[in-house]
Amino acid sequence: MNFGPITTTSLGGGLWTFNEPVNGRPQTDAYLITGNKRALVIDALTEDTELFSKVREITDLPLQVIVTHGHPDHAGAVLKDFHEAGCEIFMHEADFDMLKPGVSASWFTPLTSGMKFDLGGRVIEAVPLAGHTVGSMVLLDRAGQLAFTGDAVGAGVFWMQIPGALPLREFLVNLKEFCGEVAGFDDLTIHTGHRHQLAVQHKRDFLDEVVLMTEKIISGEWAGEDREMSFGGDNIKYKSLSHVLMSDYCYNPNNI
């Protein structure tokens, strides 16, 4: 894969996204949130080494970093730069064993449910949503009704077929608990780890779509088409289906 230089986009309101393309196409997103006193980086891309410097072009506020889960396209090489700059880096310890070579678990402070990050004028809260990985966490800005989900609910494409993903029945329980956390968010905006995969901005209706599809797969009412892929050197057979906002919900029929 050919990883290109990242692009920076201001989303307004003290929020920026950084996209790392692969083979010339948008791929993975990281985010910067600024408050009055501190700034927070969410996720660290894959092979990019510019994220730290790009963030520093925007703000000189003290930085913290949160990695939503341990997959190497979100816990990337640039974490070394943040670590060497003295930034505290957080991730759920259940995903430490997923870290790629060159990224050390010793750099991380364990991220736990309910942990809050006061940036000054805005607070970001860690909420668990295990499924895609056991340690997947969502970062909530309750006042702004923003959710930074990594891969926890997909982004139009959703991988639940890979090793380490929870059974769909367990994921559904966690998903419904998370939905309860945002039940009163009439203006919820979901910022995923791969924004380009869905043509429209992710809103509450996308979250409802993930619930619906998971329920239908579990009940057996809906079943996807047979597919296979190479992942981590292994050949994985799985099923995939699409419905409205979700173009590719991938799951392991033996892990329901």
Taken in order of first residue, the domains within the chain and their CATH numbers are 7-251 (3.60.15.10)
Average pLDDT of the residues in 95-117: 97
Count CB atoms within 10 A of the CB of residue 142: 17
Query: What percentage of residues in the chain have a pLDDT greater than 70?
Result: 99
CA distance 194 to 85: 27
Across the range 57-65, mean pLDDT stands at 98
User: What pLDDT score does 234 carry?
Assistant: 85
**Assigned token pair, 123:** 């607070």
Which residue from 130, 207, 138 is spatially nearest to 166, judged by alpha carbons?
A: 130
* Closest to 92 (Cα-Cα) out of 76, 77, 114: 114
Whole-angstrom CA distances from 131 to 25, 61, 178, 203 are: 27, 33, 12, 20
- Each residue's pLDDT tens digit, 191-216: 999 998 976 677 889 999 999 999 99
Q: How far is CA 76 from CA 101, 104, 125, 240, in A?
A: 10, 11, 22, 28
Q: How far is Cα 7 from Cα 173, in angstroms, rounded to an integer?
A: 36
pLDDT one-digit tens code per residue, 212-254:
999 999 999 999 999 999 987 889 999 999 999 999 999 999 9
